[in-house]
């Protein structure tokens, strides 16, 4: 089986500058309110992160994770999504009917409904750029090299298996204060077994050096 | 909008009709312009000043503090008594020195050829010592360019990068038909600002507030020189109740740091030493306008009421100016300075406020004229800063939007209208590229010896090729604008100094009060001397109301019991110590107006609260709360996090009025302290109230409109 392309998210270097978000919007000409890549923040206590710092913040710039078992492909009623052999999950927006079922189905909330055109869209790993031998624009623009594109298998061999995503498990550091408040410390990442995402997240825990 | 013209103010004498802006009265009686310079070393055989005389400046001597005066009866020049001249009131028909006279024969000085400082200054700029009468400036009848908005590319409206609908500015009010047709009006306001203190007509008062694009570039030195020159030549310094304040960045940015301390290249010298500008508000030297207390002082000045600190330490009515002209260059006054409400009121009370900056933020909402300024990505310069060991060639990456120009270009336009004098204009009149070339290749700057050149093709030294160069550690003094330098100090009769005393002393150094360092003094060069602002923690020690140590210090310093008790009460009422953090998206408030940025970093201001504090206050995550100090309130969304200690809150600094519900500086008290280096943002005690400002009945605290 060919290697699959994947994003490497190195939380050691991401400082939440959001250049990747802006770069994505510029490259894909997204209107206000539509973001395909979002830097998610996770605050956890030091013990939970395996570090000595009393408090730790993980910045996780995440877009579509181009899963091996993509929920969007499964649920789309018009078969707009396709898992390509190289790895990227791409969408044929011309057949999209804007039903937003993919938005609900994706455990990472990667597809985003665009009210301006009443259709749904998502990161396709800059598929056109990849065909030309270029990096995705977010990767190219990241000033800290916190985002990389490469083969999932290579990333895993270098940094660990994909289960290392779960270095920030559900750990309610602060009790919820309202019914709608999940408190500080809740996990922002679902179980990777659901869709087998093509990302590797590097943290201080699995790569302390 | 409150623009008021002040025609025919006192002291606005003219040389050639009513349209000349230069203030000869100021020059003759309140500056060293009429003092005589010994030209012995730079006179050629023909009795003329040698070309390129500025290279020989170190050999010059000030003949004495005696203005040259023409004896009206005989026509023979004599040396007048400086004290008698300098002490008299403006306009009084006393001895009238001639700033243009050149006595190469030495008739008045016993054979020593002399020139006046003013004359020499013009000669050095123009290579011509013959005095030229000042001509009336030609104000343009027609707009220079089209309207600002018309020149904006249409796609910018739709890109989210620039959208006038997102600005705080009422564009129709602020923009005329053409932005730069405003320059003559700005110039007139600049030149005719006046002050009234205690009912005494005090002529002019202005604040030049500059944290402009040149702050960390070499053109900063040029801009500083222009600020100094213009203010003196137009008579905007030197009298009670007026002054020029480099309020924001430069003077405060560079105290005590000189290349000799770090072995850094001499580029720092140029910037650092030109940071010291004309200190504001008074000529007595009693105080400047510390930016920590600027709002209250400026407001008091505008209302002609006594300025009072919280402990009523001083009554400074005598020294507070009426602000006639306020020039805000890029510094974000209403998001950075403490006591934003007072600043807003002060801006409203000022005669004329000009805001010149890239972003149309809250400051622009309080100005009479708005001039669009380029970002650092839109013009050419050389970057250099004490925090950086390298010189960077800054090349424009994109064209400016519309009519935006660099700070230096705008101020140069202003200067041109102030002086229709080719000799003086020439010193200001470079375009950006020319400036960079001149800066680097001018032999006087001695950069080649430091391994830096521009455009000569040398792969090792050409900044145009290498872009970034670390100059050699051992360097000769690098002093751009050496011959444009300028020194003012409030010495005795508050004479503005064009002539650098160091020249007369024959030594290439000046007196430095701060951290004496012989090596640094050597490299200091003939530039304005740094005068530390009166806002160090030592000045404010008795006023710092934070903990018992300070309370004890107050007692030790003789602060009375009732006042000390007041502080105890304040601490009881405002139990949380508030700090201000930067919004994550950017430095200060710069990009708040950009919708994409706000989308990425959040639309609302937040207050960080420790969950235990929140629990005791009954505050939930995401709830709207009011953060209230004794001088203002802001509305924020509560964010509960363990990242902040119990007993401390944090609000973001950098929101505009229109976004994020006013800046955190609205609650910032005016008491700079030891820990915050003149910033007062972290000295504020607050209370947190459930609900928004309107809910708490404090809507008036949101600001003065």
Supply the pLDDT for residue B148.
Answer: 33
For A37, which residue in chain B has the nearest alpha carbon?
A: B600
**pLDDT tier for residue A150 given thresholds of 50, 70 and 90:** very high
Q: What is the pLDDT of residues B486-537, one digit of tens each?
A: 333 332 334 555 655 444 444 333 332 333 333 333 323 322 222 222 333 3
For B644, which residue in chain A has the nearest alpha carbon?
A: A55
Tell me the CA end-to-end span of chain B in Å, nearest whole number.
11
**pLDDT tier for residue B309 given thresholds of 50, 70 and 90:** very low
Structure token digits, residue B307: 């300025």
Please tell me if residue A1 touches chain B, with a CB cutoff of 8 Å. Answer: no
> Nearest Cβ partner of A18 from B160, B595, B600?
B600
CB-CB under 8 Å, B643 with A32: no
Phi-psi region of B677 (alpha: psi -120 to 50; beta: other; left: phi over 0): left
Supply the pLDDT for residue B59.
Answer: 58
Please tell me if residue A43 touches chain B, with a CB cutoff of 8 Å. Answer: yes
Q: Shortest Cα distance from A47 to chain B (angstroms)?
A: 14
CB-CB under 8 Å, A181 with B600: no
Supply the pLDDT for residue B168.
Answer: 41
Structure token digits, residue A138: 């977010």
Q: Tokens 């004329």 sit at which residue? A: B352
CB-CB under 8 Å, A184 with B611: yes
Q: Which residue has the higher pLDDT, B278 or B689?
A: B689
Q: Shortest Cα distance from B396 to chain A (angstroms)?
A: 20
* Cα Rg of chain B (Å, integer): 26
Q: Shortest Cα distance from A29 to chain B (angstroms)?
A: 9
* Residues on chain A touching B614 (C-beta within 8 angstroms): 177
Instruction: Give CA–CA dist A124/A7, Å, rounded.
Output: 12
> Nearest Cβ partner of A32 from B595, B601, B614?
B595
Supply the pLDDT for residue A95.
Answer: 95
Q: What is the pLDDT of residues B41-63, one digit of tens each?
A: 777 777 666 655 554 555 566 66
The mean predicted confidence, pLDDT, of chain A is: 81
Q: What is the pLDDT of residues B450-495, one digit of tens each?
A: 677 888 898 888 888 998 887 664 333 333 333 333 333 332 334 5
CA neighbours closer than 13 Å in the CB half-sphere of residue B639: 14
Share above pLDDT 70 across residues of chain B, in percent, rounded to a whole number = 33
How buried is B138 (Cβ within 10 angstroms: 0-12 exposed, 13-18 middle, 19+ buried)?
A: exposed
* Residues on chain A touching B640 (C-beta within 8 angstroms): 174, 177, 184
CA B608 to chain CA mean position, Å: 34
Q: What is the pLDDT of residues A156-176, one digit of tens each?
A: 888 875 444 444 444 444 444
Structure token digits, residue B369: 């004229």
* Residues on chain B touching A43 (C-beta within 8 angstroms): 641-643
CB-CB under 8 Å, A181 with B642: no
Instruction: Give CA–CA dist B28/B33, Å, rounded.
Output: 6
> Nearest Cβ partner of A184 from B595, B599, B640?
B640
Supply the pLDDT for residue B375.
Answer: 79
For B616, which residue in chain A has the nearest alpha carbon?
A: A177
Instruction: Give CA–CA dist B290/B309, Å, rounded.
Output: 12
For B586, which residue in chain A has the nearest alpha carbon?
A: A17
Contact criterion met (CB below 8 Å) for B272 and B258:
yes
Share above pLDDT 90 across residues of chain B, in percent, rounded to a whole number = 4
Q: Is this prediction's ipTM beyond 0.85?
A: no
Q: Shortest Cα distance from A206 to chain B (angstroms)?
A: 23
Supply the pLDDT for residue B151.
Answer: 34
Mean pLDDT value of segment B673-684: 57
Q: What is the DSSP string of B534-599?
A: S-SHHHHGGG--SSHHHHHHHHHTT--HHHHHHHHHHHHHS-EEEEEEE-TTSSTTTTTT-HHHHH
CB-CB under 8 Å, B622 with A177: no
* Residues on chain B touching A181 (C-beta within 8 angstroms): 620-622
Q: What is the pLDDT of residues B536-546, one digit of tens each?
A: 333 333 344 44
Instruction: Give CA–CA dist B149/B268, Å, rounded.
Output: 39
Please tell me if residue B646 touches chain A, with a CB cutoff of 8 Å. Answer: no
- Is pLDDT of A185 > 80? no
Q: Which residue has the higher pLDDT, B70 or B254?
A: B70
Chain B segment 124-183 residues within 8 A of A by beta carbon are: 160
- Pairing outcome for strands B68-70 and B61-64: unpaired
Please tell me if residue B587 touches chain A, with a CB cutoff of 8 Å. Answer: no
Supply the pLDDT for residue A59.
Answer: 85
Pairs across A and B, CB distance < 8 A: 44
> Nearest Cβ partner of A32 from B160, B614, B615?
B160
Mean pLDDT value of segment A130-144: 94
The pTM for the full model equals: 0.69
Most confident region among A13-27, B40-54, B368-382, B422-436 by mean pLDDT:
A13-27
* Residues on chain A touching B615 (C-beta within 8 angstroms): 177
- Best B642, B645, B659, B690 member to test A by mutation, with max A CBs in 10 Å, is B642
**pLDDT tier for residue A23 given thresholds of 50, 70 and 90:** very high
Q: Which residues of B7-19 are buried (b: 16+ CB within 10 A; e: fewer)?
A: eebebbbeeeeeb
Supply the pLDDT for residue B446.
Answer: 56
Q: Shortest Cα distance from A55 to chain B (angstroms)?
A: 6
Q: What is the pLDDT of residues A73-116, one digit of tens each?
A: 999 999 999 999 999 999 999 999 999 999 999 988 899 999 98
The mean predicted confidence, pLDDT, of chain B is: 58
**pLDDT tier for residue B422 given thresholds of 50, 70 and 90:** low
Helices (H), ranges, B583-694: 595-601, 611-617
Supply the pLDDT for residue B558.
Answer: 61
Please tell me if residue A47 touches chain B, with a CB cutoff of 8 Å. Answer: no
CA-based angle B24:B29:B31, to the nearest 5?
85
Contact criterion met (CB below 8 Å) for B503 and B57:
yes
């Amino acid at each position: 089986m060919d290697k699959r392309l994947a994003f490497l998210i190195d939380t050691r270097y991401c400082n939440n500058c959001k250049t990747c978000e802006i770069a994505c919007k510029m490259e894909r000409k997204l209107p206000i309110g539509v973001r395909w890549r979002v830097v998610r923040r996770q605050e956890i206590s030091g013990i939970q992160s395996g570090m000595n710092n009393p408090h730790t913040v993980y910045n996780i710039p995440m877009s579509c994770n181009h899963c091996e078992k993509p929920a969007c492909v499964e649920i789309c009623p018009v078969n707009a999504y396709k898992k390509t052999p190289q790895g990227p999950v791409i969408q044929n927006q011309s057949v999209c009917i804007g039903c937003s079922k993919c938005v609900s189905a994706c455990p990472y909330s990667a597809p985003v409904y665009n009210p301006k055109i009443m259709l749904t869209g998502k990161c396709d790993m800059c598929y056109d750029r990849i065909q030309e031998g270029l990096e995705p624009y977010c990767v190219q623009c990241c000033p800290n090299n916190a985002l990389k594109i490469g083969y999932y298998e290579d990333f895993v061999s270098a940094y660990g298996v994909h289960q290392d995503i779960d270095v920030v498990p559900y750990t309610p550091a602060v009790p919820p204060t309202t019914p709608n408040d999940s408190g500080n410390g809740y996990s922002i990442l679902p179980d990777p077994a659901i869709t087998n995402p093509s990302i590797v997240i590097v943290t201080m825990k699995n790569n302390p050096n | 909008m409150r623009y008021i013209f002040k025609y025919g103010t006192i002291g606005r004498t003219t040389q050639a009709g009513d349209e000349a802006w230069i203030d000869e009265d100021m020059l003759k009686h309140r500056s060293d312009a009429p003092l005589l310079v010994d030209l012995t070393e730079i006179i050629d055989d023909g009795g003329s000043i040698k070309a390129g005389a500025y290279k020989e400046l170190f050999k010059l001597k000030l003949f004495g503090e005696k203005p040259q005066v023409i004896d009206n009866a005989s026509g023979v020049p004599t040396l007048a008594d400086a004290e008698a001249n300098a002490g008299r009131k403006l306009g009084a028909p006393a001895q009238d020195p001639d700033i243009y006279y050149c006595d190469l024969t030495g008739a008045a000085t016993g054979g020593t050829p002399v020139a006046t400082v003013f004359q020499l200054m013009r000669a050095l700029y123009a290579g011509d010592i013959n005095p030229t009468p000042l001509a009336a400036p030609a104000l343009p009848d027609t707009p220079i360019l089209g309207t600002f908005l018309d020149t904006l590319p249409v796609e910018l409206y739709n890109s989210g990068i620039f959208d006038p609908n997102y600005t705080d500015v009422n564009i129709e009010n602020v923009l005329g038909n053409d932005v730069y047709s405003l320059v003559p009006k700005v110039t007139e306001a600049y030149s005719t600002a006046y002050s009234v203190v205690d009912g005494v007509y005090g002529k002019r008062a202005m604040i030049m507030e500059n944290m402009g694009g040149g702050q960390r570039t070499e053109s900063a030195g040029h801009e500083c020189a222009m600020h100094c020159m213009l203010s003196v030549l137009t008579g905007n310094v030197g009298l009670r109740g007026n002054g020029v304040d480099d309020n924001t960045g430069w003077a405060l940015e560079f105290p005590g740091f000189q290349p000799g301390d770090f072995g850094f290249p001499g580029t720092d010298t140029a910037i650092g030493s030109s940071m010291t500008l004309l200190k504001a508000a008074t000529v007595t030297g009693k105080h400047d306008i510390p930016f920590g207390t600027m709002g209250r002082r400026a407001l008091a000045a505008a209302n002609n009421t006594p300025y009072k600190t919280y402990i009523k330490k001083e009554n400074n009515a005598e020294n507070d100016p009426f602000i006639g002209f306020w020039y805000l260059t890029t510094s974000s006054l209403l998001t950075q300075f403490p006591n934003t409400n007072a600043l807003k009121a002060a801006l409203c009370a000022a005669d004329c406020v000009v805001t010149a900056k890239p972003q149309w933020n809250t400051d622009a909402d309080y100005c009479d004229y708005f001039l669009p300024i380029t970002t650092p990505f839109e013009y050419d310069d050389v970057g250099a800063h004490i925090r950086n060991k390298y010189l960077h060639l800054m090349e424009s990456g994109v064209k400016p939007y519309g009519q935006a120009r660099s700070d230096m270009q705008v101020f140069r336009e202003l200067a041109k209208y102030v002086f229709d004098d080719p000799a003086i204009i020439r010193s200001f009149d470079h375009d950006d590229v020319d400036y960079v070339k001149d800066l680097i290749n001018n032999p006087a700057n001695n950069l080649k010896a430091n391994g830096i050149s521009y455009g000569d093709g040398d792969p090792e030294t050409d900044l145009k090729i290498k872009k970034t160069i670390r100059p050699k550690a051992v360097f000769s003094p690098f002093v751009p604008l050496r011959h444009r330098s300028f020194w003012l100090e409030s010495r005795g009769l508050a004479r503005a100094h064009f002539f650098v005393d160091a020249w007369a002393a024959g030594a290439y150094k000046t007196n430095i009060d701060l951290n004496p360092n012989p090596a640094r003094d050597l490299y200091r060069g003939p530039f304005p001397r740094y005068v530390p602002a009166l806002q160090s923690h030592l000045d404010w020690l008795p006023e710092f109301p934070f903990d018992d140590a300070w309370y004890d210090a107050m007692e030790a310093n003789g602060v009375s019991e009732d006042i000390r008790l007041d502080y105890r009460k304040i601490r009881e009422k405002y139990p949380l110590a508030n700090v201000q953090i930067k919004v994550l998206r950017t430095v200060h408030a710069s990009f708040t107006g950009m919708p994409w940025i706000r989308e990425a970093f959040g639309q609302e201001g937040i207050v960080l609260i420790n969950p235990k504090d929140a629990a005791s206050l009954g505050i939930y995550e995401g709830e709207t709360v009011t953060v209230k100090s004794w001088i203002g309130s802001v509305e924020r969304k509560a964010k509960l996090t363990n990242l902040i200690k119990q007993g401390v809150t944090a609000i973001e600094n950098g929101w505009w009025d229109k976004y994020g519900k006013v800046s955190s500086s609205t609650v910032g008290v005016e008491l700079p302290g030891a820990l915050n280096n003149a910033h007062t943002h972290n000295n504020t005690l607050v209370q947190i109230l459930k609900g928004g400002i309107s809910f708490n009945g404090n809507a008036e605290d949101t600001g003065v409109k």
